[in-house]
Amino acid sequence: MVLVNQEAPDFSEKAVVDGQVVDGFKLSDQRGKYVVLFFYPLDFTFVCPTELHAFQEKLEEFKKRNVEVIGVSTDSWFSHLAWLNTPKNQGGIEGVTYPLVSDFNKSISKSYDVLFEGLGAAYRGLFLIDKNGVVQHQVVNNLPLGRSVGEALRMVDALQFTEEHGEVCPADWKAGDKAMKPTDSGLKEYFAD
Query: Same structural domain for residues 75 and 129?
Result: yes
Task: Please state the pTM of the whole predicted model.
Answer: 0.96
Count of domains in the chain? 2
Query: Same structural domain for residues 88 and 161?
Result: no
Name the packing angle between helices 149-165 and 47-57 (round to 10°). Answer: 40
Q: Is residue 3 part of a domain?
A: no
Q: Which of 8, 16, 27, 48 is catalytic?
A: 48
Query: Same structural domain for residues 93 and 163?
Result: no
User: What CATH code is carried by the domain that includes residue 114?
Assistant: 3.40.30.10
Domain that residue 58 falls in: 12-147
Query: Same structural domain for residues 127 and 55?
Result: yes
Torsion of the alpha carbons at 9, 114, 147 and 62, rounded to the nearest 10? 10
Q: What is the pLDDT of residues 63-91, one digit of tens each?
A: 999 999 999 999 999 999 999 999 999 99
Active-site residue flag, 48: yes
CA angle 112, 9, 1 (to 5 degrees): 35
Is residue 16 within 8 Å of residue 81, measured between CB atoms? yes
Query: Same structural domain for residues 155 and 141?
Result: no
> Per-residue pLDDT for 193 more than 90?
no
Q: Is residue 27 part of a domain?
A: yes
